[in-house]
Structures are given as C-alpha cells and as structure tokens.
Chains A and B, each alone.
Chain A
Amino acid sequence: MSLILDHVGYIYGKGTNEEKRALDDVSLEIKEHEFIALIGRTGSGKSTLVQIFNGLEQPSEGTVYFNGRDISDKDFNKRELRGKVGLVFQYPEHQLFEETVIKDVQFGPGNMGFRPLDVEMYAFQALKDVGIGDELLDVSPLVLSGGQKRRVAIAGVLAMQPEILVLDEPMAGLDPVGRREILALLQKLYREKGMTIFFISHNMEEVAEVAGRVLVMDKGKIVLDGPPAKVFQYQKELEQIGLGVPQTVTLAGHLEERGWSFSEKPVTVHEMAAEILEKWNGGKNDS
C-alpha cells in the first residue's frame, strides 16, 4: 500500500465570489503499515484532505497516487479505490440504514462486486474484529448504544477489505469507555491485521499514546510531520496555531522552569510517571 499526494491544492467554490482555499500545496507520503494521526483546528482542511484520499473530492491542483497510479486517470476504477482506501466519516453511525446490523455491514462489500459468500464472510469477520457479538447481528442498528453503533459503522468500512483505514474523528462525542474501545480497536487492526491506519483527532493525549506519526495542519498546509515525541516538543508553535499539547508536556515545561531537565518532554502519562520515578530513584541512590 502506498498513498502519495503530490503538491495537492483544493479550492472550494472555484470561480465564485465565495472562493476559499482548503488545501495549499500538500505533499505527503503514506507508507505500508503506518499509524498516523492528523491534528488541526476545525476548518484547517483535515476533512477535505481525507476525502481527497479516496477520490470523493477532486484536487484543484496536484496529483494523488495510490499504489503508484494516478487516481484521476480515466481508467482508474473509483469504486475499487474507495474499497481499498476505506474512509470512515465523522459520526459514521448516522449512515446506518439497513434493518439489521449484518445487512448494513454487507452493504459496502456488496458494492465492491465480491462473491456473495465472500461478502457474508467479510461482514462477519469485520463485526467480530470490532467486537460486536453474534447476538447483535440480526437486531436493528437503531437500538444499539452509541459506542456500538460507531463500531458497526466502522465494521461496514472494514468489510470492504481496505488496505488503509482512514477515520475522521472516530472518537468524537463518545464517553471515555467508548473512546478507549475505539482506540483499542485501531491498535488491534494495526498490530494484528497489519493495517495502515490514518485518523483525525482533537485529543492530544490519545494521539500521543497510539500514533507512530503525527501530522499537523494549519490553514490548509501540513506544518509539522514526525513521531509524537518530536512533534509535541513544538509547544509554542502548536499553541500559536490554536492547538494544544498533551498535558504532560505542559507539566514538563513547568518543571523545567523549576530546574528539572528532560532530554525530550514526555508525551504520555506512563512516560511522565517513568521519568519522575527515574529521577526519584536516581535521587535516592545518590544520597
């Protein structure tokens, strides 16, 4: 799997007086088996960017290559692309429409032209992967809890057998338990299924915890790109564009003012605790 954006730009309402630039010269390469988080303020172009990935939006400038091929080519099958680049929208539970959970999950793979037996198998497997038990397969999606609906909707995309799973704010509006479940699901898909994961989030702590690479968007541009431990060192820059850093980074900053030193500010709770304990134990040994 490889997805490459080459100098991609996107302008809304081109040619009208409401013209607005959503993406500005974005170049980006997503490689096989990466776990990427995209952060940025509301309106920074994140949602547009992910809709460029699977051809739902056509870039105004630049080219998108999926597995080496230009996706704007006439003979490039858009539907197949949408199966390979699985995109889960924000609040995806709002798209559920079938009478039963299993039928809804079969909708995507059914559209992909798989054999009926495969459609069924993929749907079962996807529901199993997201942790929806057999007893829920034949109930109406409308009676599920918020977190369950969300997972069924994700299964609906997973069942298309995508090579990369792209999710637009998959945790939005869920309670902590629901958030944990989705995060654990993404980690499982990444580790056990070897999938490439790309998700948008506003929660810096969660991003720091799971992602291997963080992209920061501001005004349609990608302004920072790297592992979370590196990206979140740019506290001042991130705050300037209206984003935060994990609370541990802020704490580490304050501690530095008090004379502590960190080779790199810890970005997760565990890292922070480990750093403090190390200093504590080191201090005890010295004395």
Chain B
Amino acid sequence: MKEKKGAFLRTEGLVHEYSRRDEEGNVTEIIRAVDGVDLSVEPGEFIAVLGANGSGKSTLAKHFNALLTPTDGVVYLDGKRTDQEENVLAIRQLAGMVFQNPDNQLVSNVVEEDVAFGPENLGVPTKEIRKRVKEGLESVGMYAYRKKSPNHLSGGQKQRVAIAGILAMQSGCIILDEATSMLDPMGRKSIIEQVLRLNKEKKITIILITHHMDEVVHADKVFVMKKGKVALSGTPRQVFGQAELLEECKVTLPEAAQIAEELYEHGMPVRTDILTMQELEEELERIFA
C-alpha cells in the first residue's frame, strides 16, 4: 500500500455507519453518523470541529486515532492508514485523546501512575517514564498533585492530568472530544489556555471538538458539522461571517458577533466578522471616534 505523505491528518470520503437492532438482533435502522467527510490537517495546526449534538463530530473524532475504522473511505494519520491493524498503536501514540467525562478516563488512583499508563503500555524504559511523567505533569501545572488520587481533584484538574498522560506518550497531536463540556467556566478556561499554550510552544496539533463558540475563536481552521457532513469550513472569521448557515447547523455565534449582528441590522456601519469583545470594542471606538 502506497503511503500518502504531506498532511498530518487526512480523511478521504470518510463514511461511518452504525446500525440499530431490535430485540431479535435484526437491523432496524442504519444510521450514517459521518457521511463523506474530506478534510486535512497540517502539523501544528489548531483545528476546531463544531456542531450540534448528533451532528457526527464525536464519531468523526474517533476516526482520527483509530478508535473507529471507516465504513467507507480512508483516514491517514501521519501517512498511516487507520484501518490497518499494524498501524493502530503507532497512530494512537501519535494522536492522544481527552474524553468528555473526566471521571471515566483516568485508570489509576494515583495521579503520576495514571500519567505513566500510556508510556508503560508503549514499553518505555522506567527511567524515561519517570522523566516524561515529571515533564508532562509540570507542563500542565499538576506536578504538586502527583501523589494524589484523581478522586480528590476538580474536573478541570482531572482533564489536565489526562493531557499530561498524552504528553507523556510524546504525542504530536491532542484530540479533545468535548473535553470541556462537563467543566465549570474556570475549568474550561484553564483547559483552553493549556492547549493554546501547548499548540504555540510545543507545536502540538490540536483538534478541539466542542459546542462552545468562544473556545474556537483562536483556531486556525474551523469545521462545522451538520448531519454527518462538513457544512462549513474556514478560518473562524470566514465561518462566523455566515450567520444564516450557522443557524442551520444549530450553532450560535459568540456574544460579540451577536451584538455586532444586531447593530448591523439596525443600520450601524459595523464590521460583521467580529469574533471577540476586544474586536467589538475597537470597532466601536473606530465608529464613534
């Protein structure tokens, strides 16, 4: 099989179907959760995938690290096909995943041993594991908690431990599968800050699956999913400029964009591609000057 080089992650005509069965085990319904997705992600990019519940964004994400394999189409991660058994470990090592429920993804009842879980599975030598665990915990600011039980940590702290576990595998990519949706605003903010920093400083590719609009304004590229398809894609500015299409995808605009939109509708000459409150503030300053 010829391997494709270039993009860090690429999907070609990706389709994922699953079937619902009745009590006798007969297939009653086939659901196309992902329906022909083509996308590519360059190394070091910050990608956001938006979409309402049931739009297929989580199913899509699980294809990126071979937790699911395509019904049709192909997914390449770092040039390796995800549907080939011999690639699976290498792919999962390269693309780590943080899941939605902070309680259900930590394995050990001691923080540092949990961070060590990935490298232990990969057969990393003991000395090297300790070094990576220390570095991983330090870079998410959780080193002081290394001997604690995850049961004593807040949701945000648990997600940071999960990120440390991925760093300890030396993954080049972190996929956050609605990892902030169960957190309070403080926890959410801390996770977004962490991944933004890892993206900038360590050039780690970030794929953020979320339904919080304010988290995606810093992304390089945004994909908006609707009924298993990519309905919209582009920079946040390009995407949020298309208010009507977003409405159809059941995605709401960030607050600043909502205000700008309302002002525009009432005849104020305000830019319609505003994303943040800071931009709105500058725009207002310009208009009123």
Contact = CB atoms under 8 A, between A and B. Distances in A.
B184 A41 contact: yes
Interface of B: 52-54, 100, 154-155, 181-182, 184-187, 211, 213, 250-252, 255-256, 258-259, 262-263, 266, 268, 277-278, 280-281, 284-285, 287-288
A248 B255 contact: yes
Contacts of B258: 269
A251 interface: yes
Contact of A146 (B53, B154, B186, B251): B53
A117 interface: no
B152 to A, nearest CB: 12
A251 B282 CA distance: 11
Ranked 5 nearest A-B pairs via Cβ: A273-B262, A175-B211, A176-B252, A175-B53, A251-B277
Contacts of A272: 259
Contact of A42 (B54, B154, B181): B154
Contact of A269 (B54, B259, B268, B281): B259
Contacts, number: 77
A128 B205 CA distance: 46
Contacts of B262: 269-270, 273
Number of contact residues on A: which range applies?
20 to 34
Contacts of A280: 263, 268, 287-288
B190 to A, nearest CB: 12
A258 B285 contact: yes
A242 B154 CA distance: 14
A242 B266 contact: no
B184 A176 contact: no
20 contacts: A42-B155, A42-B184, A145-B53, A173-B100, A175-B53, A175-B211, A176-B251, A244-B185, A250-B277, A251-B277, A251-B281, A255-B281, A269-B255, A269-B259, A269-B262, A270-B262, A273-B259, A273-B266, A277-B266, A280-B287
B243 to A, nearest CB: 14
B189 to A, nearest CB: 9
B285 A173 contact: no
B261 to A, nearest CB: 9
A272 B288 CA distance: 15
Contacts of B52: 175-177
Interface string A267-280: 00110110011011
Contacts of B277: 247, 250-251, 254
Contacts of A174: 53
A164 B44 CA distance: 52
Given A173-B100, A246-B255, A273-B263, 12 more contacts: A41-B186, A147-B53, A175-B250, A176-B213, A177-B52, A178-B53, A247-B277, A269-B259, A270-B262, A272-B259, A273-B266, A277-B263
B255 A205 contact: yes
